[in-house]
Amino acid sequence: MLPTGYATDFVADSSLFHAMFRFVRRAQQRWPGLHVDGEPLPPEALGDWYLPEPGEDGRPSAVTFSPSRPGEAAAEGAGRGPGAAGQGTCAVFYRAHREPLGEVRYAVSVVTPADPDTDPFSRDVVRDFLEAFEGSRPGAVRHA
């Protein structure tokens, strides 16, 4: 299930792939039962996780994150808004864009259950995404 909600849009350079690894590590700290794309991702499996290259067809690729099994998350309202714990399913959509000089940039949307300006959980997810770029070169990510 792809979540619906509020999209916060960014443009990122190729450091997106390393930043997403750090973002997933943060998600595991937040949710010990983290599921990525509907499958459990135990801490010992994180070393093998990587963000897949986006498809060549121009359509966005997506990675979903939930605090528990997808069925449990859906029962708590994830994908439609924060659940009983104030958290919900979120996703990162991304698509490659080739710049005129050959550099590749990525259009990225972080989809959270609610507006990060008013919802603490959504604000934390967007903050974690941005902080995952710390240590990257300046300008690695910016709001679109």
The rounded mean pLDDT for the chain is 86
Q: Whole-structure pTM over 0.75, yes or no?
A: yes
Strands (DSSP E) along 13-89, which ranges?
Answer: 35-36, 39-40, 61-66
The pLDDT of residue 123 is above 90 = yes
What stretch of H or E contains 141? strand 141-143
Average pLDDT over residues 102-106: 90
CA–CA dist 123, 45 (Å, integer)? 27
| 131 sits in which H/E element | helix 120-131
Question: How many CB atoms sit inside 10 A of residue 129's CB?
Answer: 24
